[in-house]
Amino acid sequence: MIKKNTRQFEFDRDLVLADARKEIARRLEQPARRSFLRRSLTLGGLSLLSGCAITDENSVETALMQVSRFNDKVQGWLFDSTRLAPTYPDSMITRPFPFNAYYGEDEIREIEEEGYRLEVTGLVADKRTWTLAELRAMPQTDQVTRHICVEGWSAIGKWGGVPFADFLRRVGADLSAKYVGFKCADDYYTSIDMPTALHPQTLLTLTYDSQPLPPRYGFPMKLRMPTKLGYKNPKHIQAIFVTNTYPGGYWEDQGYNWFGGS
């Protein structure tokens, strides 16, 4: 096995276990259940959980991928659509708010408003494209929340736009579908579970700090979810699709936890 894969394996294992432990500590009040689950979450237990016989490093990776997907499901089951992420006063906004992407600031994508059309496809009644003006014409709201990046920083920002649940209802999305996927103008892509898509704080975001979203923060449009880690929040969205087929994501396909949130 080459070095890169070994590193990825270490990363997956740590991430899966850390996520699961955090989830258990946070969600389960009863100490008995908590310690039972903690005990079951050893690497040895993973072969039982995944149903994979662990005979070599490849089978370990297969098992870990299955457990990671299992972990996604468990987190989805534990997800509480009424639990709100904390909000903050404007005075706590981090200035300047950090930029991050899988490339540097010199490669920030500049998308022209004129030709921009948001595509909406998949399990929706109204498959059509949207201009920015049409999105701006829908009722808007804003929120001051904390963005947390797995690279080790967090910052408080103010985002405004259309509650995503309103948008999904407006396009007649199948709200019982499993996933909503996003394709971005910079080749980034990600996907989320439907309960998170319908969460009251999930925002189809058109503004940052009450101004049109600047290119660095994802012009013309991004999805902002204070219940999810930074990499789950796609910037420069070009297409949204509703599906029952697991769409993965740019970082998720490289081993980041797909649920990536609380």
Ligand X SMILES: Nc1nc2c(c(=O)[nH]1)N[C@H]1C(S)=C(S)[C@@H](COP(=O)(O)O)O[C@H]1N2
H helix runs in the chain, sequence order: 3-27, 31-40, 43-50, 57-78, 132-136, 164-170, 194-197
C-beta of 98 vs 172, nearer to ligand X: 98
Q: Give 192's strand partners.
A: 180
248's tokens: 């993965």
Do the bridges between strand 118-122 and strand 237-243 make them parallel or antiparallel, or are there none, so unpaired? parallel
Q: Which does 233 bind (CB under 5 to 8 A by kind): ligand X, Mo ion, none?
A: ligand X
229's tokens: 């880690």
Q: Give 261's strand partners.
A: 228
Q: Which does 207 bind (CB under 5 to 8 A by kind): ligand X, Mo ion, none?
A: none
Shortest distance, CB of residue 156 to ligand X, whole angstroms? 11
Shortest distance, CB of residue 159 to ligand X, whole angstroms? 9
At position 137, the amino acid (one-letter code) is A
C-beta of 24 vs 184, nearer to ligand X: 184
Rounded to 5°, the CA angle 130-132-136 comes to: 110
C-beta of 34 vs 216, nearer to ligand X: 216
Provide the binding-site residues for Mo ion, judged by CB under 5 A.
Answer: 149, 230-231
Print burial letters for 135-154: b (CB count within 10 Å at least 16), e (below 16). Answer: beeeebebbbbebbeeeeee
C-beta of 24 vs 189, nearer to ligand X: 189
212's tokens: 């049109």
Instruction: Give dist(CA 156, CA 98) in Å, integer.
Output: 10
Shortest distance, CB of residue 215 to Mo ion, whole angstroms? 17
242's tokens: 């509703």
Provide the binding-site residues for ligand X, judged by CB under 6 A.
Answer: 98-102, 149, 184, 186, 188, 216-217, 230-231, 233-236
Q: Which does 8 bind (CB under 5 to 8 A by kind): ligand X, Mo ion, none?
A: none
Shortest distance, CB of residue 58 to ligand X, whole angstroms? 28
C-beta of 44 vs 104, nearer to ligand X: 104
- In the complex, which residue's CB is closest to ligand X? 230
Q: Which does 164 bind (CB under 5 to 8 A by kind): ligand X, Mo ion, none?
A: none
Shortest distance, CB of residue 108 to ligand X, whole angstroms? 9
